[in-house]
């Protein structure tokens, strides 16, 4: 049981560190807060909450994985290297794809609430 508790503690520590160090995660945190407040304000139904939570989770997972990949690349290759840059760019592209997908989902969910 102690190993399980520790694994959750390490995971939460990783999220806290990433949010503390990464500007983009701070932006995602702000956007997450805005979307959750909007969902509460518009009293969206449970199925729409599922879509919103999925979209938020998709972006958070992508950004955390991107951060981990960037840290690992910097650890393995601290000097400028075109291949290392390519790896980082591809990982960042994954975050962009997730963010665009999430934005489209958000527009689909919230459009009817903000447009008459």
Q: Is the pLDDT of residue 116 over 80?
A: no
Parse the chain into domains and list their residue ranges.
2-114
**Spatial distance between the Cα atoms of 84 and 75, rounded to a whole number of angstroms:** 11
Render pLDDT for 55-80 as a digit per residue (tens, 0 to 9): 999 999 999 999 999 999 999 999 99
User: Band of the pLDDT at 1, cuts 50, 70, 90?
Assistant: confident
SS3 call for 45: coil
CATH number of the 2-114 domain:
1.10.287.3610
Q: Are 95 and 63 in contact (CB under 8 A)?
A: yes
Q: Is the pLDDT of residue 17 over 90?
A: yes
What one-character-per-residue DSSP string does 61-90 give?
A: HHHHHHHHHHHHHHHH--S--HHHHHHHHH
What's the mean pLDDT when you consider all of the chain? 95
User: Band of the pLDDT at 108, cuts 50, 70, 90?
Assistant: very high
**Spatial distance between the Cα atoms of 94 and 92, rounded to a whole number of angstroms:** 5
What pTM was computed for the model? 0.91
């Amino acid at each position: 049981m102690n190993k399980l508790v520790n694994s959750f503690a390490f995971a939460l520590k990783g999220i806290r560190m990433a949010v503390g160090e990464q500007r983009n995660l701070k932006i995602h945190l702000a956007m997450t807060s805005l979307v959750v407040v909007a969902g509460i304000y518009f009293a969206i139904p449970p199925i729409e909450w599922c879509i919103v939570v999925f979209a938020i989770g998709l972006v958070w997972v992508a950004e955390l994985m991107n951060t981990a990949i960037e840290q690992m690349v910097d650890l393995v290759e601290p000097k400028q290297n075109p291949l290392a840059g390519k790896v980082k760019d591809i990982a960042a592209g994954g975050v962009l794809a997730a963010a665009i997908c999430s934005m489209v989902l958000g527009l689909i969910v919230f459009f009817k609430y903000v447009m008459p």
